[in-house]
Amino acid sequence: MVAALEGAFGALDYQSDEIPFTFTDYYTSEMGAGIRRIFFAVADLYDPSELARAKLTTDELEQRFAGERRRSVNLDPGMLTLGRLILASTKDNAQRIPLRDGIYAEITLLYRQGGFEALPWTYPDYRSAAYHEVLNDLRTRYKQQLEADSAHA
């Protein structure tokens, strides 16, 4: 999977530990029990206007790795900024903004007063301390990248 992600998006510079996905049984019939979440990040800063393309690409990767069940992986691309986490989705909903080709963007978490804050529609897993710990690590890395880029500009 890592090689496929790097082929699609470039070098990865972050991989979280596995986090058990115990927040819902929504995916169990499709993917089986014992689902785990792993967060990855690309090394280079990513153009936010490419979020829809990223979701279309991850949907293609999900199909490529599909086994006897419909999917063996569920890839959820997103963008982390200093102020928010935005996820891409193929499902429309009131809080989602259409991008293109049936892809929507959703602000899933806000970063305020030193931490991530859930919104009324934020999924339970993204409300968890385990996810917030990973996202805080990624946010720190992102802030360092921005500072390094501005120092070289």
Distance of CA 99 to CAs 50, 65, 75, 108, 147, Å?
10, 26, 18, 16, 29
> pLDDT tens-digit profile of 65-116?
887 658 788 999 999 999 999 999 999 999 999 999 999 999 999 999 999 9
pTM: 0.90
Integer Cα distance of 104 and 52 in angstroms: 7
At 140, list the tokens.
């720190």
